[in-house]
Amino acid sequence: MKSNNFKNIVGEIKTGEVATIRFFGKITEDSTTLFNNEFDFLENAIRPSLIRVLINSEGGSVLHGMSTYSTIQNSTVPTECIIEGMAASMGSIIWAAGARSFMRDYSILMIHNPFLPSNEEAQTSDLVQAFVKQIKTIYRKRFGMTKERVEAIMDGDTGKDGTFFDAKAAIKAGIIPTENILHTSKQLCEKVKNELTDLENISEIQVLMSRICMEADALDIENKHFESTFPNLNQIQNNHTKMDELKTNSAEYAAVAASLGMKEKYEVKDVMSRISELLGVEDKLAETGKSLKDAQTVIAGKEATIQNLQKDKDTLTASLTVFQTKEADEKKAKIEALVEAAIDNGKIDKTSKAQWVEMAESNYPLAENILSCIPVREQITKEIAADPANIQAARQTTEEKMDEKVQAVVGAKFEFKTLG
């Protein structure tokens, strides 16, 4: 079967023969999903005698990379992983997933501690600590190193992030045996060495290694390197029983499951489900953090609005107090004027002023209406009342009226008459 429809599978793929698949580029959700799907197709649909994984990756997501590690590690088909150009960071973990690990003589291996890209300088989170423990276990078990040696490699020298290895350094460190180095031309090795001299950025290094891989591929096709120089790459024993045991009982896989908080009884699908769940939690956490920040901004705006409204309220309350005081004073003066006018006009006695004031305060229109209905009393000034003539006139008028009444009853000569 041709591999034209696949992005990672290269060459023809046949049942019972070697199948080759690449993992090139950064480790992301998309790249791991595509690789895992094509790998599963090889494993379950094609059933080759061996799946050879060619790696050239600068690394990337630990969570997504672990899904590819598990896919290769738990394959029921024998596997081998080869560093074609560079296996850095999480790329080195994928390289360590194969039943056998190889690297070309010009290849680069880089091992360091994992971190969260968005939180590199902050305190290490529980998730990162779990990844560190998990990755240390994988390196220690895979390369047969002590815990202290693995930690030293991951930490790197002072001021550095991890440790870089070329083929010779990897052999010296005990990471890979001499027979697992795939030799190319001396010219190609020198070219890589010279071009790497001025490069420090890992992305730039991967670009270089990608170009070198293309040149190396052409060299392999011409010299049939895999068939002539390293026939043992195609001679791994296919023990399905052993691979099934490895699928559930390997220390590396157990470390992955343990770091995810899983118990002893679990399956691959359970681990993958847990990883997907963690990815979902990570996304939700980021979304929640953004929502919280937005909510805090809104709350701050509302608090400022409340403070402004409180100031407006205080100002209005002060203005209202002044108005109410003025209104009360004007009402009091109005009542005072109404009652005093009634007293002056003789409508009411001064001794009843308090009662009329109380009535006006309770119901001013009623008090005003009643006082308006009381006629003004005619008053005699002191000068008129003190005039003797006026007093005599008033007295005569009174006596005359009394005589008229008496005469009306008894008559002029005191003759009694009947009252009609």
Q: Which of 101, 112, 225, 259 is catalytic?
A: 112
Residue 85 CA to residue 199 CA, distance in Å, equals 15
Q: Longest Cα pair distance anywhere in the chain, in angstroms?
A: 182
Residue 3 CA to residue 13 CA, distance in Å, equals 7
Tokens of 309: 């409204």
Residue 268 CA to residue 254 CA, distance in Å, equals 11
Q: Which of 70, 89, 101, 107 is catalytic?
A: 89
User: Mapping DSSP to helix (H, G, I), strand (E, B) and coil, where does residue 86 land?
Assistant: strand
Measuring CA to CA, how many Å separate 295 from each of 53, 113, 306?
Answer: 48, 35, 16
User: Mapping DSSP to helix (H, G, I), strand (E, B) and coil, where does residue 50 land?
Assistant: strand
> In 3D, which of 31, 12, 89, 20 has the Cα closest to residue 58?
89
Q: What are phi and psi of 20, to 5 degrees?
A: -115, 135
For the question of residue 112 being annotated catalytic, the response is: yes
What is the residue-wise DSSP string for 181-223?
EEP--HHHHHHHHHHHTT---HHHHHHHHHHHHHHHHHHHHHH
Residue 360 CA to residue 379 CA, distance in Å, equals 26
For the question of residue 89 being annotated catalytic, the response is: yes
Tokens of 353: 């002023």
> Contact 167/98 with Cβ under 8 angstroms?
no
Residue spans of alpha helices (H) in 108-166: 126-143, 147-155
Tally Cβ neighbours within 10 Å of residue 53.
Answer: 27
Tokens of 97: 């997933």
User: Mapping DSSP to helix (H, G, I), strand (E, B) and coil, where does residue 10 land?
Assistant: strand
Q: What are phi and psi of 38, to 5 degrees?
A: -70, -35
CA atoms within 13 A on the CB side of 331: 15
Residues forming the active site: 89, 112
